[in-house]
Amino acid sequence: QVQLVESGGGSVQSGGSLRLSCAASGYTYSSYCMGWFRQAPGKEREGVAAIDSDGRPTYANSVKGRFTISQDNAKNTLYLQMDNLKPDDTAMYYCASDIWPRCTDHWDEPSTYQHWGQGTQVTVSS
């Protein structure tokens, strides 16, 4: 049974950093396109970053240069390093897994992914 569990969220001040983790079990997550999404209250879920089975990352323009997606295959864990955080980054963050090894042009669409974690809250104060 596929399970994704996020951790690492918290409250930080603007300009601070956090590293989110997504521990995968029940399958080898690194064989698939993996994504990070976020959802703020009253807003739609949006794609933040994705990484495919070859380790190639893709980022939303809003986080490019500030966030870094990576994976530790030995630990079956996906990460999202978030630097220079802004209040607009405040949201619930989710990791998700596709069933294909390559991330497509639709990597930032929630419907692309089949498995989801429960989310971890990130709050950035000004």
Q: What is the pLDDT of residue 27?
A: 75
Give, in order, the Cα–Cα distances in Å from 51 to each of 15, 41, 48, 56, 110.
Answer: 25, 26, 11, 5, 15
Check: CB of residue 118 under 8 Å from CB of residue 3.
no
89-124 per-residue burial string, b: 16 or more CB within 10 A, e: under 16:
bbbbbbbbbbeeeebeeebbebebbebbbebbebeb
pLDDT of residue 29: 64
According to the model, what pLDDT value does residue 31 have? 82
At 126 the pLDDT is: 94
Q: Taking Cα atoms as reference points, which of 78, 50, 54 lies closest to residue 64?
A: 50
In sequence order, the 6+-apart residues with CB closer than 8 A to the CB of 111 are none
pLDDT number for residue 99: 83
Cα separations (Å) of 55 from 18, 29, 52, 116? 21, 12, 5, 20
Q: Which residues pair with 12 in a beta bridge?
A: 124
Where the chain has pLDDT below 70, the residues are 29-30
Token code pair at residue 114: 């089949």
Q: What is the pLDDT of residue 78?
A: 95
